[in-house]
Amino acid sequence: MQSLWNDTEAATFGTDLLGQRVYTSRLLGRNPALVLHGGGNTSVKVTERDFFGDSVNLCYVKGSGWDLGTIEREGFSPVRLDALIKMSKLATMSDEDMVLQQRAAMTNPNAPAASIEAILHAILPFRFVDHSHANAIAALTCNADGEARVKEVFGSRVIIVPYFMPGFILAKTIADLIVGRDLRAEGIQGMVLLKHGLFTFDDDARKSYELHIEMVTQAEEYLATRSAGFQPSEATISEDLLSLAKLRQAVSKHRGFPQITRLNASPEAVGYASLPNVATFGTRGPLTPDHSIRTKRAPAFISDDIDASVQAFANDYQAYFDRNASGQTKLDTAPRFALWPNHGIVSFGDTLKDANIVADIAESTAATVALGEAVGGWEPLPESDIFAIEYWDLEQAKLRKGPARKVHQGKIAIVTGCAAGIGFAIAESLAEQGAQVVGLDIDKDIPDIMKKIGGIGIVVNLTEDQPVQDAIDFTVRQFGGIDIVVSNAGIFPKNDYLDAMAQTDWDRTIMINLTSHQKLMNKVIPFVKAGIDASIIFVGSRNFKAPGPGASAYSCSKAALTQLCRVAALELAPNKIRVNIVHPDAVFDTKLWTPEALQKSATRYGMTVEEYKTKNLMKVEIKSKDIGNMVSAMASPLFSKVTGAQIPVDGGNDRVI
Ligand code: ZN
């Protein structure tokens, strides 16, 4: 492992102690083998003037909710050093009191809550303290011989600390270990917390950080010599997207919410998931106890019977809870990641961000557990210690802080013809309500257009079979399934009477407005059947019930599309998939309607543009966003018992009513 220290870069963070602390914290956070997603913590001790001008000794400790990799000055909580040291001298202290007293001792009450390891940072008599949950330290110490190995690698440079729950008890244990000692004279440069992580310390920011890198490198080198000959499995990678969607469906059912699902099918991930005995050693426990908050104690192991595998995980989790619980409320019994031989490692989350965090931890876990097993047997903490962290109220609080759940959170939607107008408004409404949206359009700008709403755009000619299949497969590969399909793509050909119409205009309209929808259904329905509270919505037109002269191709295609919707509703009702159609009318905020075209049409009716735009019974203007919001509602639980319905969004039309 290399030190990432760079003098020029360091200078941009300021030369004061807190500036240096921010810089080296980021260096630690930049390396995923040291720190992942909120893991690890750092501190610096400084003397400052308080509001009244009095000198005060502070310990700036990483605040909770901040990641080391992106931390800023305001991510550190200024806590009075004497208060923290006083706390370490108490015989006992509850977690709640510790959190409260740490906050009471802050000179800025608006700063984030200090890390639960603040007392531990305070009692170490060095200016800078760096703490990580390095993979190499886990592989070294999650073993029956962990302590002996640490002695062999680090000699007397480090204090070895047996596992204790982080917080007051750990700080107290370490206070007892160092009381009356002169760590500098003894040449102590760090502490290895067995099955937890590494601390290094020094009065110089760079030295403390580089000690960390040096010690982790030493551990890596030790492991490398012991694991020579270890060969990761070279399994054949097979892809089965329908089974992936079924796995997501089973996990979502146990979780109670649709889950964004990330498949890691890299050779490393498939190799690990296919190792002999991985079902045994791969499910013993996490690298470091705080991962259990995100990943639970262990992954699920997926055999050929997907539902039975997920159920087996749920049964095991229930038994684990029953063995360890003492009054806690049980969390859901769904796995957060799964090992799937020949397919890879699959991670689940309420949002893409959550699923990606789990995927990062799972990847790190796979590499480290494989190494730990190869160098003498992976032996993580006993389950009672993991349970104590997984159900620790202070940790649960971190998860509860998330924002309220959106209607379509965790759902995956495909919208066709969404580069502009009604289609874009639909994609936008679904995304606003939390759906992961993939937009299909022939417009080459669709990737950039969808990026604006956090979605993915794919350039597809919907009348061609293979590109449509590829786009559907891509969506499932990316997110694990498909729950919402909005079949919207359509054209409005020029208004020719039947005796003047070019045959190509008719054929093209039927192909795009009708046949392309049928082709999409043919390919997407197998996945929708494995969706969560799945829903298909077609975008029709008022024209179907109130046709106009010169619009035969358009009216007929929309009428047939409505019939396609009705048949699909009949066919899919047994699968609890609802199929409905929305009939918009007179939506003028689209590309088709230039100000000149609007003026021309208004003049033809002898109206002002304003009158023309609102020529419906309710005299209201219909906007693309009205259709978008209606479609989003139709995909929501509001319409959970509605299928085969035709919903007009037209302000009321006397020819239709
Ligand atoms: Zn820790």
User: pLDDT of 71-101, one tens digit each?
Assistant: 999 999 999 999 999 999 999 999 889 999 9
**pLDDT above 90: percentage of residues in the chain:** 81
Ligand 1 centroid from CA 43, angstroms: 13
Ligand 1 centroid from CA 569, angstroms: 54
Ligand 1 centroid from CA 388, angstroms: 14
Q: Hey, what are 134's tokens?
A: 């390095």
Ligand 1 centroid from CA 116, angstroms: 9
Ligand 1 centroid from CA 199, angstroms: 9
In eight-state DSSP terms, residue 235 is P
Cβ pair 137, 155 in contact under 8 A: no
Confidence band (pLDDT; 50, 70, 90) for 393? confident
d(CA 454, CA 435): 10
pLDDT for position 288: 87
Ligand 1 centroid from CA 657, angstroms: 66
Report the Cα 584 to chain-centroid distance in Å.
35
**Per-residue pLDDT tens digits for 111-126:** 999 988 999 999 999 9
Q: Hey, what are 204's tokens?
A: 């110089």
Cβ pair 349, 357 in contact under 8 A: yes
**Per-residue pLDDT tens digits for 166-197:** 889 999 999 999 988 999 999 999 999 999 99
Ligand 1 centroid from CA 636, angstroms: 41
Mention every residue, 6+ apart, whose C-beta is less than 8 A from residue 116. 64, 95, 98, 99, 166, 167, 394
* CATH among 3.40.50.970, 3.40.225.10, 3.30.70.20, 3.40.50.720 for 7-226: 3.40.225.10
Common-topology check for domains 7-226 and 412-587+623-649: no
Query: What is the helix (H) or strand (E) element at residue 414, kind and residue range?
Result: strand 412-416
How much is the average pLDDT of 374-378?
88
d(CA 438, CA 474): 9
3-state SS record for 154-199? HHHHEEEECCCCCCHHHHHHHHHHHCCCCHHHHCCCEEEECCCEEE
Other beta carbons within 10 Å of 639: 17
Query: Starting from the edge strand earliest in sequence, which strands make up the sheet with 300-301, in order?
Result: 260-264, 344-349, 337-340, 300-301
Query: What is the helix (H) or strand (E) element at residue 231, kind and residue range?
Result: none
pLDDT for position 233: 67
More confident residue, 231 or 149: 149
Q: Does the pLDDT of residue 464 top 80, yes or no?
A: yes
**Per-residue pLDDT tens digits for 235-288:** 788 899 999 999 999 999 999 999 999 999 999 999 999 998 899 999 999 988
Confidence band (pLDDT; 50, 70, 90) for 229? low
d(CA 615, CA 610): 9
d(CA 38, CA 29): 9
pLDDT for position 289: 87
Ligand 1 centroid from CA 82, angstroms: 22
Q: Where along the chain do its domains lie?
A: 7-226, 241-400, 412-587+623-649, 591-621
Ligand 1 centroid from CA 61, angstroms: 13
Provide the sign of the torsion angle of the four alpha carbons 105, 108, 114, 118, taken in this order.
Answer: negative
Q: Hey, what are 84's tokens?
A: 């923290």
Q: Does the pLDDT of residue 601 top 90, yes or no?
A: no
Report the Cα 347 to chain-centroid distance in Å.
9
Mention every residue, 6+ apart, whose C-beta is less than 8 A from residue 149. 140, 141, 143, 222
More confident residue, 241 or 495: 241
Confidence band (pLDDT; 50, 70, 90) for 399? low
Q: Hey, what are 496's tokens?
A: 């020719």
Q: Does the pLDDT of residue 375 top 90, yes or no?
A: no
Q: Does the pLDDT of residue 22 top 70, yes or no?
A: yes
Ligand 1 centroid from CA 33, angstroms: 14
Q: If we measure between CA atoms, which residue out of 365, 388, 392, 367 comes closest to residue 36?
A: 365
How much is the average pLDDT of 37-43?
87
Ligand 1 centroid from CA 151, angstroms: 20
Ligand 1 centroid from CA 393, angstroms: 16
**Per-residue pLDDT tens digits for 115-169:** 889 999 999 999 999 999 999 999 999 998 899 999 999 999 999 999 998 889 9
pLDDT for position 431: 98
Cβ pair 593, 448 in contact under 8 A: no
How much is the average pLDDT of 199-223?
95
Ligand 1 centroid from CA 166, angstroms: 7
Ligand 1 centroid from CA 370, angstroms: 22
Cβ pair 339, 299 in contact under 8 A: yes
How much is the average pLDDT of 338-351?
96
Q: If we measure between CA atoms, which residue out of 56, 27, 24 comes closest to residue 43?
A: 24
Ligand 1 centroid from CA 648, angstroms: 58
In 375-445, where does DSSP find H-type helix? Answer: 383-390, 393-400, 421-432
Q: If we measure between CA atoms, which residue out of 343, 346, 354 comes closest to residue 257?
A: 354
Report the Cα 62 to chain-centroid distance in Å.
23
Ligand 1 centroid from CA 100, angstroms: 20
Ligand 1 centroid from CA 167, angstroms: 9
Ligand 1 centroid from CA 637, angstroms: 42
Ligand 1 centroid from CA 629, angstroms: 46
Mention every residue, 6+ apart, whose C-beta is less than 8 A from residue 11. none
Ligand 1 centroid from CA 420, angstroms: 49
- Residue type, position 405, single letter: R
Q: If we measure between CA atoms, which residue out of 542, 541, 534, 513 comes closest to residue 634?
A: 534
Ligand 1 centroid from CA 175, angstroms: 16
Ligand 1 centroid from CA 115, angstroms: 10
Q: If we measure between CA atoms, which residue out of 492, 472, 493, 514 comes closest to residue 421?
A: 492
Angle between helices 241-255 and 465-479 (to 10 degrees): 40
Q: Hey, what are 578's tokens?
A: 């609802």
Ligand 1 centroid from CA 287, angstroms: 11
Ligand 1 centroid from CA 191, angstroms: 12
Ligand 1 centroid from CA 196, angstroms: 6
Buried b (16+ CB within 10 A) or exposed e, 532-555: bbbbbbbbbbbbbbbbeebbbbbb
Mention every residue, 6+ apart, whose C-beta is less than 8 A from residue 243. 306, 343
Other beta carbons within 10 Å of 335: 31
**Per-residue pLDDT tens digits for 307-321:** 999 999 999 999 999
pLDDT for position 401: 64
Pairing state between β 76-80 and 55-62: antiparallel
Distances (CA, A) of 197 to 96, 131, 166: 24, 7, 11
DSSP E strands in 63-170: the ranges are 76-80, 128-132, 158-161
**Per-residue pLDDT tens digits for 636-657:** 999 999 999 999 999 999 888 8
Angle between helices 146-154 and 205-226 (to 10 degrees): 120
Mention every residue, 6+ apart, whose C-beta is less than 8 A from residue 424. 418, 439, 449, 624, 628
Ligand 1 centroid from CA 45, angstroms: 19
Confidence band (pLDDT; 50, 70, 90) for 230? low
In 95-145, where does DSSP find H-type helix? Answer: 95-104, 118-123, 135-141
Ligand 1 centroid from CA 443, angstroms: 50
Ligand 1 centroid from CA 449, angstroms: 42
Q: Which CATH class is domain 412-587+623-649?
A: alpha beta
Fold held by 241-400: L-fuculose-1-phosphate Aldolase (3.40.225)
Ligand 1 centroid from CA 165, angstroms: 9
Q: Does the pLDDT of residue 396 top 80, yes or no?
A: no
Confidence band (pLDDT; 50, 70, 90) for 231? low
pLDDT for position 402: 64
Q: If we measure between CA atoms, which residue out of 604, 624, 619 comes closest to residue 654?
A: 619
Ligand 1 centroid from CA 131, angstroms: 7
Measured between alpha carbons, how far apart are the two ends of the chain, in Å? 73
Q: For the chain, give the mean pLDDT.
A: 93
Ligand 1 centroid from CA 195, angstroms: 10
Ligand 1 centroid from CA 495, angstroms: 70
